[in-house]
Structure formats: structure tokens, C-alpha cells
Structure 1
């Protein structure tokens, strides 16, 4: 491994520089790729138009970075090719990243559902990744935009912030369109189209959904949360749902949003631990209890009141036919909301879609028709569930490309 002193000398980009690999994007995937390639002996340039690397890492997990998930598996990722992620994920696992975290002495804890967070700050993860880049003598070009990219004579020639750089290998790690205030751009898709790679239409994912029309009254429940099962298509998630001043959010809804398409319904089971006989059983046990009162014993009071009003069931349970009580339970367990949209890329944690996996090698992340061109992380049509899965894809795809490009 090169000396730390040499690493410090090579951090700045000169007016015209030749490299083995240029990595576009100093996010999770880009930093991991650059570090791995640099430590294997490649001369690497890491480019980002932001002045600081890892901006999405810094805000993730409430500032503590949900850096991986112990339950990572290919079926927890969305892609036009559900098998594509298997190779990279199997070769760089959550335990591999955890070993790196432990080596740097970063304290961590498991929250729920296999989600791992820093005890301290997400800054520790960014600092760790940059230390890994320094160990690989990676040259940095931060705060500089990519102005042009050409491919000729087996070399990629770039103009970056008015300076020229070239390399035989180019890695697209510039992410998707989510959270533009942090600098997200469509650069990955522009480059993909420039090199004749197909792009699966990008759309917001892990994003709050908005309600309108007759459902606008649910906005009055802003701040109310309840554990539910939310479903979109065939995907079902049991976690908390949160009503907001614009519609629906919370982990269960964010998860379902990745599978939701405009015009479709999201189905919510407000009583996931009960069956369709629950009100009939309650009627037998407490016949004089009013329906609304019974429901308030099962759900947050404001939510119960709104749902009872929509169901239009009034009076004591004893006076309500079993058929109507079963119908109410059926509705509460399959309550269909039809969102009129989402809060868009501004609030989306990630992007579904991206550079089509059909044009990439699942082992190396290299473009099949453009030797030396790679795509990794959120730029690719692979999107994980909420809870650290997207970071694990960033680490795994970054390692896959870093090792392949430096071979």
C-alpha cells in the first residue's frame, strides 16, 4: 500500500491528468469503488460537483446513517431483472461492511428489522470512506462539474471544472434524482444515453404519498401514527403508517410507495392482528359498547373517530347486525387509499429505475457494449427497501466495479 504522505500529495487534480479510473460521484457507491480500486494499485480520480462528499450519507438515519441491514437478500430489491443484484450482494455482504466499520472503531447498534446505525454521527462513515480513499491514494476533484465526456482511442476524455482528465475506465456513480437540494442530477442518465445504454424510467421511491378528493379529510389526522400492513401490488409491509398534512407517510407507506404506480390504490390493514370476526366477538363480550368506542380501544382515538365516521356505524354493538360488523372489519383490514400523487423527488429517499441492468454485467457492473464503462449504486435500476438496503447495494456494487476496473 502506498504511503500516507504520497496519498496527501495526490489529493489535488492538476490542469491535465491521466488516470487508470475516473469515478463520477463521491457518494456511498463512488467512494467505496474509488477506495477499493485505489488500494489495488489503480490511479483513481474521484469527481463530484459538491464541495463535500457523501451528502446523502450525512442526512441518512436521522444523521446516524443506517449503513446496512443484516437481512439483506436479493428479494428485497426492485429491478426489471430481480436476479441482477445477486452476484454483487453475495460477494460483499453486510458482515463485510460491518468488519470495516469495526476496524475504524465506529460504535453501532441494531435498531429494528436488522437495521444497523452509528451510535454517534453519520460523519464517521464519510470520514471512514475518505480515509479508505486516502489509503488508496485517490485523487479528489470536489466542487467541480463534469462539462464533457468523450470516448476515443480506448480512453475516456473528460473536462471537469475547466480541467482535462483521461482514463481507460470510467465509473458512473452519480446517483439518481432523489433529493435534488443535495445536488442530485440526471448526469447518470445523460451519460447512459450518450453511450447508447437503455434507461428504465426513473421515479420517486421511499416517498410520502399525497391524498386528494374525498380522502383529503384524512389530512386532518396529521401527526397520527398506527402500526398497519400497507400493500401496493403484491408487496406488503408491516410497520407504522403516519398521516401528514399532505397525505400518508411512515415506514409502511414509504416501503409501499416503491411499488406504487400513479392511479393505483394502496391498501392498508388497520387491524393486522385481528380477523373479520373481531367486532362480532366484541359484540358477544360487550354488547352495550358503542361501535366507535370499541374501535377507539383498538386504534389511536383520532384515527378511530375518523374511520368510524366513514363507516357510518352508530350505536351499541348489540343493535348492529353481525353482517354489518363483519363488513366493517373487512373494510378496516382492506382500506383502499388512492393517492393523487407523491411528494416527488424532493422528498424521495431513493430513485426507482435508472440505467438498465440488461446492458451491464452483474459480476463487474461493466457495460456490455462499451468496454471500460461501469455503472453502480443508485444510478442503476436496482432499488432496495427502506432500512439500510440501498447502502448495502452501494457498497456491494462499488466493490464489484472497483475490483473489476482495477484488474
Structure 2
């Protein structure tokens, strides 16, 4: 039976980072993954360009951008391994990148460059990687852990669980991490799909079907939370960055509101149209500021016939309300099939924020998506993977 100082379960972003850092400390490290290739979610991320971090994923600006039962839990790791530190690694490997919007950094070339970089760093650190290998059993021993793999049996002093969440099952997502947490007595918070498109019931879909494929800038709100980005109508409901962001806060039964004219004074726009073009219908006015099909649907919903020149201020206020506060009620989401991440997971109360170690189980660590820490869209979840992986790698 082969013994390693550290075994990392999961060859994703967090797992590879933890392995690199542990290997740099001279630890013997084995990384195990059931997939055919390492870093599959990295490869498909960012439309194949990998949104590998966000310059705002910091202890200062990132305070409200990570969801958790304890939102402050992530700050320790984020303060010790910052976006600048990962950017330095990317630059050292000669990978060119650009800032897209809102601090999001993307590779200029294919996302596989990040995989190649991480695999190279693992090799340099002396890490052993085994793929297409499943974990059949894990048990605690007096001085560490024993693992029965599909290909062999190994023991280790430290076990790092970086198995990810339930999102995108076609990429090999599994519940192994949650099962191991439960096995060793760690608590779990509720898990649900996050950064995911929202869906409507059949009647609403029928009403909105003509809008499928149309995108428009909007501010989407749920309670006190709002995101200003693109909104996309789909044949199932709503998607686009603004919807993916709000989906992490939305719950079944809740409504969302949409401001279709972000940072514009709708009332002033309507009054100006009434004065300049009094002999046009309100739908025509809407079509001058919105995609035509969306303007047509809103015009039908308003059901306010006549020329805008004849509209009273009270009638204009009704039009303004639908432009600035269009209320929609999704019935669900597309689920883990298309969710970018999983909300919830291993309860942070049972983990040390500095090392990611399980408080009650010496040598056991949980990192990345399996933990109850979920970032905003736009590189935040990758930075959490790098930071939590780095933190565990210093201690495992």
C-alpha cells in the first residue's frame, strides 16, 4: 500500500492549487479524479476563454460578493492569496489576458492554457496525478486516512476534499464531497443550483415565446439586491448575466423586477415623446428605446390604446412603471444541468477559515465549491478556488 503525505480528491481548480502548494512544501502529493481530463470546468469556462479571476475578489471589495451562511468566512483565504498573486502566475507562464467588464479577467487565447499552467506547476512540484480513478471507500486511521480507489489502495496523513458541487453533471459532478463531510460528522447547509437561468410556467412561456433570443441591458432586482447587466430571453425563460447573478438570491415563489431602462429617466423620455411625437402610439415610443418585439409585448400588456399625445401624466406613469419595474415571477431554474456553481455545501462553522481544515477531524480539509461559499458571476468562484486551495496547501 503506497503512502502519501497528502491525497487530494478532485483535479479541478481548487484541488490542483492545493496540490501545487503542498508539493512546493516538499510534501508527497497524490491527486485523484474520476474524470478523463483534469480541470474540465476550467476548459469550458468563460465561453472557452476562462474568466480566471476578478480584480475585485478582495477582502475589501469582495465582502458582499460571496454568499454563505457566514459571508465573512471567505475573507481570510482571499486576503492571503489575492487575485494579484494568481495573475502573477498567469503572467509568469506568458499567458496573455484582458479585462472584459466589471473586473473580469479572461485569457486572450483558449482556457486550456490555464489547465496547462496548473498541470505544469503540479509536475514541477512533484505531484502525482491519477485520472479515471474513482474513490470507493475512505476511512480514518490513527495517524491519517486509508483510501480504497478503483485502481489501488493508498494511505495519507492529510486528505483534501476538492470534489466540487453538483453543477453541470455532464462534466462529472458528484456528491462525494458531501458524503465524506457527513461521514466524518461535518454539517451541511442546503444546496441548490446557483448562477443558473430561471424558468417560467407554460402560460408565461407562451406569452414570451416571441422574445426568445432577444437580449437587452437591464437592472434585475430581488429584494434589496440588484444587478445591472445583460438580460436574455430564452425558450425556457430568462438568462444572461443579470439573471444568473440574481438566481443566487432568488427562491421559488419569489418575483423579480426588471428595470428595462437602466440609468435612464423613463418619465422624462415619455414626456419628451408626448411633446415631440404626439400622434404615435405608446408601442411606437417603446420601440424607440427597446427591442421591437419586447416593445410590442409590453404594449400589449399595457393595453393603452390611442395616441401618446392624448395620454395624461397618470397614464404615462403606468407606462413608466412597466419600464422601470416590470415584475416577473419565475417558477424554477434550469437546475444543476446548466448551473455554473452550487450554492451551499459543507458548513463553514466546522472549518478553520485560515487552513480550511475540519475542526474536529485532524488532517481533513474541504476547499472550493464543496464548501458553503459561492461567489458572484465573473471570476469570483475561480478566485475562491485558488485562495481556498492555496490555504489548504499551506497546512495539509
| TM-score category (smaller protein) | over 0.9
Give, in angstroms, the shift of residue 291 of structure 1: 0.5
Q: How does 1:106-121 map to 2 (within 5 A)?
A: 106-121=95-110
Greater shift in the superposed pair: 284-293 or 351-360: 284-293
> Do structure 1's residue 383 and structure 2's residue 368 form an aligned pair?
no
Match of 1:243 in 2: 233
| CA displacement 1:120-159 (0-9 Å, x = unmatched) | 1111100100111111111112110000000021311001
SS at 1:19's partner residue? Answer: strand
Match of 2:174 in 1: 185
Distance 1:285 1:273, change over 3 A: farther
Give, in angstroms, the shift of residue 213 of structure 1: 4.5
Equivalent in 288, 310, 320 of residue 279 of structure 2 = 288
> Which runs of 5 or more residues in structure 1 are unaligned?
1-15
Equivalent in 19, 28, 31 of residue 43 of structure 1 = 28
Asked if structure 2 preserves the Cα contact closer than 8 Å seen for 1:29 and 1:377, the reply is yes
> Do structure 1's residue 218 and structure 2's residue 208 form an aligned pair?
yes
Equivalent in 192, 198, 201 of residue 209 of structure 1 = 198
Give, in angstroms, the shift of residue 332 of structure 1: 2.1
Taking the aligned partners of 2:383 and 2:305, their CA distance within structure 1 comes to 50
Give, in angstroms, the shift of residue 241 of structure 1: 0.2
Asked if structure 2 preserves the Cα contact closer than 8 Å seen for 1:215 and 1:337, the reply is no
Match of 2:183 in 1: 194
Match of 2:41 in 1: 56
Taking the aligned partners of 1:268 and 1:314, their CA distance within structure 2 comes to 24
Taking the aligned partners of 2:125 and 2:145, their CA distance within structure 1 comes to 21
Taking the aligned partners of 2:265 and 2:258, their CA distance within structure 1 comes to 14
Taking the aligned partners of 2:331 and 2:166, their CA distance within structure 1 comes to 21
Greater shift in the superposed pair: 23-32 or 279-288: 279-288
Asked if structure 2 preserves the Cα contact closer than 8 Å seen for 1:292 and 1:314, the reply is no
Taking the aligned partners of 2:30 and 2:17, their CA distance within structure 1 comes to 13
Match of 2:221 in 1: 231
Asked if structure 2 preserves the Cα contact closer than 8 Å seen for 1:22 and 1:169, the reply is yes
| CA displacement 1:335-359 (0-9 Å, x = unmatched) | 1111111110000011101111111
Taking the aligned partners of 1:79 and 1:173, their CA distance within structure 2 comes to 18
| CA displacement 1:175-211 (0-9 Å, x = unmatched) | 0000000000000100010011111111101111111
TM-score (norm 2): 0.96
Asked if structure 1 preserves the Cα contact closer than 8 Å seen for 2:210 and 2:293, the reply is no
| CA displacement 1:291-344 (0-9 Å, x = unmatched) | 111100110111111111111122211222210211221122111111111110
Q: How does 1:314-325 map to 2 (within 5 A)?
A: 314-325=305-316
Match of 1:134 in 2: 123
Asked if structure 2 preserves the Cα contact closer than 8 Å seen for 1:146 and 1:159, the reply is yes
Q: How does 1:3-402 map to 2 (within 5 A)?
A: 16-72=1-57, 73-216=62-205, 217-275=207-265, 277-278=267-268, 279-402=270-393
SS at 1:171's partner residue? Answer: strand
Cα RMSD for the two superposed structures: 1.1
Match of 1:8 in 2: none
Taking the aligned partners of 1:344 and 1:53, their CA distance within structure 2 comes to 24
> Which runs of 5 or more residues in structure 2 are unaligned?
none
Asked if structure 2 preserves the Cα contact closer than 8 Å seen for 1:199 and 1:356, the reply is yes
Asked if structure 2 preserves the Cα contact closer than 8 Å seen for 1:74 and 1:89, the reply is no
Asked if structure 2 preserves the Cα contact closer than 8 Å seen for 1:280 and 1:326, the reply is no
